[in-house]
Structures are given as structure tokens and as C-alpha cells.
């Protein structure tokens, strides 16, 4: 393959968007591998802090330009930073109690939840097929969470990990809706930096509480690798790829790549942890993908956001 053609293929918006989803899928793996050395809140705190510290030196001119809009929206940034911090931290608690497969499948419900909350909060109009799509996707998530066992649903015996993931999905979806409502006019790089810094600040009390309970971080090789991954790949690189791809092909087509979560998640879970793909995973995946596709037009109007 000629060099120019290879470069064109690698930099294709379809490739970079897929890579962004893969990076977010790897976030589950990194958290699961590092759980013995890095407590969940510590991993989330340092992920946000390092991302902000690494990016700030390179975007100071952008921050100066965007500062008036940032200052005028400090309240919105505080709320959205809290939602992102909560969502990202809950993922790290979730993977301690559930499989990477389950986490990825439940995470694929973010676009559907965003549309539902947009309807509830912003009163955005959705059509009949989009409403049906929301119900279909919810049915798929319930299928995964309950392991297709009616008794689990009736007795509300959900696994803690699955519940944490559901709460994370709600947090991310609310963030996306609030971002749309705020309509803040700043660059993507400034948004990444401000959100990362806000998330780190919100996590300071929780991090201190975690340490007070004796859950301290061990600075091992695995710790450094895991922190490096979640900072560089799950946060900075995934954000760059997602925004680059979205700008080139538009949010409507880009939103469809969220459907890759149920594909990458099970593969990563089987490779790294020997997890087994059960029949209910397959049924749940089909339902979630169908639901996401049905509501994709509504979701496509939402601004891109970091959901990993």
C-alpha cells in the first residue's frame, strides 16, 4: 500500500472515531487491572488532574481567549465537572464488581439516556420511533443487568457493579444535556482542560476520605502504566480523535460510532480477563444497538463529550 494512501487510511475520520471508542473501552480494562494498586477515587482524581496539567501548557493562548466565556459560566462548569467526576469515578467502582462486558454494554446506553433526559429537561421533541428506541435500548440494558433472569428483576437483586454503571450512564447523559443547554462558546481544548480541572477539584474531598479509610495508592509499574493509559488514551487522545472525526463527518454520522462500545467491550473482556460471552449478552447487545440506531438522529444534535 502506498505511503500516502496508508496515512490517509489511518487518519480517516472513521478510523479515528473507532479508535476513540476503543480508547474508552480500554478504560474499563485499565481500571480492572489496576484495582489492587490504585483505589477508584485515586485513579479518577489523578486522571483528571494529570490531563489538565498536561494540556494547559500547550493551550494557554486558547484559555486566554476563552477566559471571558469560562468566567461567565463558572456555575455551569462546576455542575458539569461534578457530573463528569461522578460518572468517571463510578466506572472504577463498577469494574470491581462486574465484568468488562457488562460495563461496556451498559455504557452503550449513554446516547439513549441523553435523548431521554433531553426530552425531560429541555423538552426536546422526539418522535414515535425514537421513543420506541429508548424503550428497546432500556430492555437490552435490563437484559444484561439481570442476566435475563426475571427473579432478579422482581426482587431487585442487581449487582452493585451494574448499578454503579447505570448511575455513571445517568451522570454522563445529564452532563451532555446540560452542555447543550448552556451553549458555551469555547474551544474543545479549553473545554477539556476546564472539565478535567473541575473534576479533579470535586474529587479532592472524596480522595481525602478514601485515604482516611486506609485505601492508599501503591506507586508500582502497573500504577504508572494504568495512570498513563487513562490520562493519555481515555482522556486526551480519545477526546482529540472524537472531536476530529465529528468535525469531519458531522455529529449525525459520528454518533453512530457509539454503537462500537458493545463490540469492543466484550472482545477486551475476553482477551484480558477470560470473560465469557453469554447468550443474554448477545440479546442485550442487539436490543441496545437497535435502540441506539433508532434514536441516533436525536442524539446526533448533542455536542460531543468525553464519556469514558
Number of domains in the chain: 1
In a domain, 42, yes or no: yes
In a domain, 306, yes or no: no
In a domain, 7, yes or no: no
C-alpha 6/C-alpha 8 separation (Å) is 5
**What global pTM score does this model have?**
0.82
Contact call for residues 245 and 16 (beta carbons, < 8 A): yes
In a domain, 308, yes or no: no
Of 232, 205, 274, 207, whose CA–CA distance to 20 is shortest?
232
Write the DSSP string, 183-231.
Answer: T----HHHHHHHHHHHHHHHHHHHHHHHHHTT------HHHHHHHHIII
In a domain, 12, yes or no: no
Residues in Cβ contact with 277 at an 8 Å cutoff, skipping those fewer than 6 apart: 101, 266, 270
Of 304, 174, 154, whose CA–CA distance to 239 is shortest?
304
**Three-class SS state of 308:** coil
Q: What is the pLDDT at residue 184?
A: 82
Q: What is the pLDDT at residue 280?
A: 80
Q: What is the pLDDT at residue 303?
A: 47
C-alpha 74/C-alpha 212 separation (Å) is 30
C-alpha 284/C-alpha 263 separation (Å) is 12
Write the DSSP string, 82-133.
Answer: HHHHHHHHHHHHHTTTS-HHHHHHHHTTHHHHHHHHIIIII-----HHHHHH
In a domain, 304, yes or no: no
Q: pLDDT 10s digit of each residue in the chain, 308 long?
A: 566 666 666 778 888 888 988 999 899 999 888 887 899 999 999 999 999 999 999 999 999 999 999 999 999 999 999 999 999 999 999 989 888 888 887 887 787 787 788 888 877 776 777 778 778 877 877 777 677 776 655 555 568 898 999 999 999 889 888 887 887 888 889 999 999 999 999 999 999 999 999 999 988 888 999 999 999 999 999 988 887 887 677 655 666 677 777 778 878 888 888 888 888 888 887 887 787 677 665 554 444 455 55
Angle at 89 between CA 214 and CA 278, to 5 degrees: 110
Q: What is the pLDDT at residue 105?
A: 79
Domain of residue 287: give its range: 17-299
C-alpha 163/C-alpha 103 separation (Å) is 10
Q: What is the pLDDT at residue 133?
A: 76
Residues in Cβ contact with 109 at an 8 Å cutoff, skipping those fewer than 6 apart: 137, 138, 140, 141, 169, 288, 291, 292
Q: What is the pLDDT at residue 253?
A: 63
In a domain, 272, yes or no: yes
Amino acid at each position: 500500500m502506498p505511503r500516502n494512501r496508508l496515512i490517509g487510511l489511518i487518519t480517516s475520520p472513521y478510523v479515528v472515531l473507532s479508535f476513540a471508542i476503543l480508547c474508552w473501552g480500554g478504560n474499563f480494562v485499565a481500571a480492572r487491572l489496576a484495582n489492587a494498586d490504585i483505589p477508584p477515587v485515586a485513579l479518577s482524581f489523578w486522571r483528571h488532574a494529570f490531563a489538565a496539567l498536561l494540556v494547559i501548557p500547550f493551550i494557554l493562548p486558547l484559555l486566554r481567549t476563552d477566559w471571558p466565556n469560562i468566567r461567565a459560566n463558572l456555575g455551569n462548569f462546576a455542575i458539569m465537572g461534578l457530573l463528569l467526576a461522578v460518572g468517571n469515578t463510578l466506572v472504577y467502582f463498577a469494574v470491581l464488581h462486574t465484568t468488562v462486558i457488562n460495563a461496556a454494554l451498559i455504557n452503550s446506553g449513554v446516547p439513549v439516556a441523553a435523548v431521554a433526559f433531553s426530552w425531560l429537561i429541555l423538552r426536546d421533541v422526539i418522535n414515535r420511533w425514537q421513543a420506541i428506541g429508548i424503550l428497546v435500548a432500556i430492555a437490552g440494558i435490563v437484559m444484561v443487568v439481570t442476566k435475563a433472569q426475571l427473579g432478579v428483576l422482581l426482587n431487585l437483586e442487581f449487582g452493585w457493579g451494574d448499578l454503579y454503571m447505570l448511575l455513571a450512564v445517568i451522570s454522563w447523559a445529564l452532563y451532555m444535556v446540560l452542555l447543550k443547554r448552556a451553549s458555551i462558546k469555547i474551544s474543545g481544548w479549553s473545554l477539556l482542560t476546564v472539565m478535567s480541572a473541575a473534576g479533579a477539584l470535586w474529587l479532592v474531598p472524596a480522595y481525602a476520605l478514601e485515604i482516611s479509610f486506609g485505601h492508599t495508592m501503591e506507586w508500582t509499574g502497573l500504577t504508572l502504566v494504568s495512570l498513563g493509559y487513562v490520562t493519555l488514551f481515555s482522556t486526551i487522545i480519545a477526546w482529540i480523535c472524537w472531536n476530529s472525526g465529528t468535525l469531519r463527518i458531522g455529529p449525525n454520522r459520528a454518533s453512530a460510532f457509539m454503537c462500537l462500545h458493545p463490540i469492543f467491550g466484550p472482545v477486551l473482556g475476553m482477551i484480558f480477563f477470560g470473560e465469557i460471552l453469554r447468550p443474554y449478552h448477545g440479546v442485550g447487545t442487539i436490543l441496545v444497538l437497535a435502540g441506539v440506531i433508532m434514536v441516533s438522529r436525536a442524539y446526533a444534535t448533542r455536542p460531543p463529550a468525553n464519556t469514558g
